[in-house]
Amino acid sequence: EVHLVESGGGLAQPGGSLRLSCAASGFTFSGCAMNWVRQAPGKGLEWVSVISGNTFDIKYADSVKGRFSISRDNSKNTLYLQMNSLRAEDSAVYYCAKKRDGSDSMGLFDSWGQGILVTVSS
Amino acid sequence: EIVLTQSPVTLSLSPGERATLSCRASQSVSRSYLAWHQQKPGQTPRLLIYGSSIRATGIPDRFSGSGSGTDFTLTISRLEPEDFAVYYCQQYGSSPYTFGQGTKLEIK
């Protein structure tokens, strides 16, 4: 069974940094593209970033490009999101999401973590 | 960036009725790479439909999707109490992978 557990969230000041982690189990992590998706309180879903299994292909939403960095450690089955220059509008629940097996698009995901709350406020 | 617009924003229906949710794209969605996700309060989203019309594993056949190009539809043939939730369409044919703003399906 696929299991995704996010950690590293919390309160950060505007302009500050946080690093989120997503521990994965129940599937072959190294062969699977992984995404980050966020949801501001009471709002809809927003795709943030994706990384391929071999790390060669990385994409970002324009809203985070240049500030956020996605990475992974396949030896630890862990996905990361380094968030710098944080803004109030980055406040959201952040989900890691696994690409659906067999999809030739990295952006189709069928398993989600429970999410971790990030609050950016002074 | 492909902008997805869902309608209606809120849909009020009774159990047993048929629900029709719409998703319109600002440009053609490549290869009909359009998915629908369901999110219940306090829960994570769940993939219902991908490839415009293919049900994900374990999804009941009262859920069906259709459409191509810029116009897509999610139909729930006969609403069950557990179907009342927020539904999001999402295109995954081209980056950035965008979501619609959601349709809230509420009990009338």
Give the A window 53-92 contacts with B, CB below 8 Å.
59-62
The answer to whether residues A105 and B33 touch, using CB atoms and an 8 Å cutoff, is yes
Give the nearest partner residue to A59 out of B50, B90, B95, using CB atoms: B95
pLDDT at B61 over 90: yes
Task: Please give the pLDDT value at position A103.
Answer: 87
Q: How far apart are the first and last CA of chain B?
A: 35
Residue of A nearest to B31 (CA): A105
Give the B window 38-97 contacts with A, CB below 8 Å.
39, 44-47, 50, 56-57, 88, 90, 92-93, 95-97
| Interface contact B98, partner A, CB < 8 A | yes
Structure token pair of residue A42 = 């009471």
The answer to whether residues B12 and B108 touch, using CB atoms and an 8 Å cutoff, is yes
pLDDT in tens, A47-105: 999 999 999 999 999 999 999 999 999 999 999 999 999 999 999 999 999 999 888 88
Task: Please give the pLDDT value at position B102.
Answer: 98
